[in-house]
Structure 1
Amino acid sequence: MSKIRSSNSIASIQRKIKEGRGQGHFSEYKPWLTVHDVPSIGIVTRILGWKSGRLHHYLSEHFELAHHYQMEWSEQVIDIREQFPLLPLDKTLYIAQKLGIKHPTDPKNKLPIIMTTDMLLTVKQEESIKFIAHSIKPSKKLTKRVVEKLQIEKEFFKDQKIEWALITERQINYNLVRNVEWLHNAKNNDKLSNHHINSLEENLYCAIQQSEKPLAKVTREQDELFGLPSGYCIQIVKYLIANRYWIVDMTHLIQPTLQSMIILENRFPMGGILF
């Protein structure tokens, strides 16, 4: 459920459908609402997705973004579609009437709006694919009216035979979120040399495993040892963790300037990565 501008006329809805809003998968998906469709007040975020390869649009405070980081890290989730529209409009109007709930309307023109769910996830389970809808709200914002709107969402997806869940702060692991945020720009880091990743991985692994110094200090020493720009080796470390070559406990907050790092498993291939 999202804040929107007064542009919910039939013509506007038809225009968005023609533009492909709410359609497609992965890089082809276009959210029903983007950061350009919301009022200037409040916090909006665009972030390049690992799984989708496109910019994701989050229209509320950082709560939705936090859950995005969790879903980016999940190996079961293969696609994230934010601001997914509940179409056709007649469907949610019918559900609202059946439940005895007032359907959301545009505050300016009083027309019924196209409702959206915060995320529609594509989830791989063994050999099958399923969809799961997530509505994301902090507990303090679950007013009676918000809960009514969530009931419409839940019933909509129930009719579609799609699992629906409400995500609050209780379902967010903030250590994991901060760790993925720290790693996020490193997964596809084109500033790193393929040669350096392959040739330095073993040295970095041994240096980190054998030292009780903070991670940042160990990697800085490796930068100096190999004549590399300051900060280069820690970027390699982030790349290796982000791509799951090095396995660490992501539920434990990584504090590179304060703590050493424990690498639970090294999956880096013999002979290095083939690029």
Structure 2
Amino acid sequence: MSRNKYTWTEEKIAKRYAEGRGSGDLNNYLPWLTIQDVPSEGRSHRPKGWKTNRKHELLSDLELSFFYYLEWSNKVIDIKEQYPLDRDDTIAIASEKNIPHPFENSTQTPIVMTTDFLVTTRIGKDIIHIARSIKPSEKQEDPKVLGRLEIERQFWQDKGVEWIVVDEKVMSKQFFKNMKYIHEYYYLTNSVEEEMATHFLGFLASIAMKKPEKKLIDCCNEFDTLYNLDNGSAIYYCRHLYARQYLVTNDMEKAIQPHKISLADLDIRNGGFERNYGDFIS
């Protein structure tokens, strides 16, 4: 059964196109592949996107790491993962370059190739698409992998879309840890929590004007006591405010640790700002 689950046939490919895989925008987009469709070589993830308000299908930690950059950047409008490439085009490119096209051995079916991320971005006044393939540096020495990347590169070049391979060497481990700490707290469960988060933001702003040297953790504890909340409630709101960009750290290369951060280390805003790491994906 497990072998059949991952086996490609023409019927299976036709069914996916009929389902609308690879089409749609934002929360209506359907990835060509989901985490159930492929045997994962590492940990897979299904985070709910800040920009799309849908679950994303990410097949590795490395894809998750790059996804965090896309989420953080104010230039990114839409994120489409596991984006399918037109099979006729990739077969033609493979033939022209004398590169073996990926195919299913058991059924002799040419596989629909995918690009890890097709991203809609705002550059100045222009809205453009960029394509990114996420590949560990060690795998980029494999001739088979290089062949597939070359097909992918040529495909996007023919479409006039910038395409780049991204590996682990250019992604910050600390940025990843910070985003992992705050990402799932972007959405609160109800209006009561949203109101409390707003109160907490005002509470921090008032203290920052008088005692900027005060530690964030002390403010959190005071807020919990003031509103008779369970211990740790303000930390929960704190992570939400970080994710929503109301609390802006001056350096995402430093760990978000409330017991070490003072209010002077933060920019407390009403929302919206030019976020760091925007240039990374563009």
Q: The TM-score by the shorter chain falls in which range?
A: 0.7 to 0.9
Relative contact order (alpha carbons < 8 A, sep ≥ 6): 1 or 2 greater?
A: 2
- Counting only pairs closer than 5 Å after superposition, residues 73-222 of structure 1 correspond to structure 2 as 73-87=72-86, 89-142=87-140, 143-191=142-190, 193-207=193-207, 210-211=212-213, 213=215, 215-222=216-223
Cα distance, 1:266–1:258 mapped onto 2, change above 3 Å: closer
Distance 1:161 1:184 in 2: 33
CA contact (8 A) 2:6 2:39 kept: no
Distance 1:103 1:137 in 2: 18
RMSD (Å), alpha carbons: 2.2
Distance 1:71 1:165 in 2: 14
Q: Matched residue pairs, number?
A: 263
Distance 2:147 2:206 in 1: 56
The superposition leaves residues 46-85 of structure 1 with CA deviations (integer Å, 9 ceiling, x where unpaired) of 11111111111112x3111111111110110111101000
Shift of 1:7: 3.3
Shift of 1:258: 4.9
Distance 2:97 2:151 in 1: 8
CA contact (8 A) 2:250 2:267 kept: no
User: Which residue identity does 2:50 align to in structure 1?
Assistant: W
The superposition leaves residues 167-219 of structure 1 with CA deviations (integer Å, 9 ceiling, x where unpaired) of 01122122222212111122121255343233332322454663454x43441
Unaligned runs of 5+ in 2: 272-282
Match of 2:11 in 1: 11
User: Structure 1 stretch 20-29 or stretch 238-247: which is displaced more?
Assistant: 238-247
The superposition leaves residues 97-142 of structure 1 with CA deviations (integer Å, 9 ceiling, x where unpaired) of 1111111112432321000010100111222211100000111111
Cα distance, 1:198–1:9 mapped onto 2, change above 3 Å: closer
- Counting only pairs closer than 5 Å after superposition, residues 29-108 of structure 1 correspond to structure 2 as 29-39=29-39, 42-59=42-59, 61-87=60-86, 89-108=87-106
CA contact (8 A) 1:158 1:164 kept: yes
Distance 1:40 1:148 in 2: 21
Shift of 1:249: 2.8
- Secondary structure of the corresponding residue to residue 103 of structure 2: coil
Identical positions, percent: 33
Match of 1:273 in 2: none
User: Which residue identity does 2:154 align to in structure 1?
Assistant: E
Cα distance, 1:140–1:206 mapped onto 2, change above 3 Å: farther
User: Which residue identity does 2:14 align to in structure 1?
Assistant: Q
User: Structure 1 stretch 200-209 or stretch 163-172: which is displaced more?
Assistant: 200-209
Distance 2:170 2:135 in 1: 11
Shift of 1:257: 5.6
Shift of 1:41: 6.7
Match of 2:26 in 1: 26
- Secondary structure of the corresponding residue to residue 56 of structure 2: strand
User: Structure 1 stretch 103-112 or stretch 44-53: which is displaced more?
Assistant: 103-112
Distance 1:34 1:187 in 2: 23
User: Structure 1 stretch 188-197 or stretch 114-123: which is displaced more?
Assistant: 188-197
User: Which residue identity does 1:85 align to in structure 2?
Assistant: P
The superposition leaves residues 220-247 of structure 1 with CA deviations (integer Å, 9 ceiling, x where unpaired) of 2331233221111122222222112222
User: Which residue identity does 1:70 align to in structure 2?
Assistant: Y
Distance 2:206 2:148 in 1: 54
TM-score computed with the length of structure 1 as normaliser:
0.87
Distance 1:140 1:20 in 2: 34
Distance 1:40 1:124 in 2: 32
Match of 2:274 in 1: none
Distance 2:194 2:101 in 1: 54
Distance 2:267 2:187 in 1: 21
User: Structure 1 stretch 190-199 or stretch 125-134: which is displaced more?
Assistant: 190-199
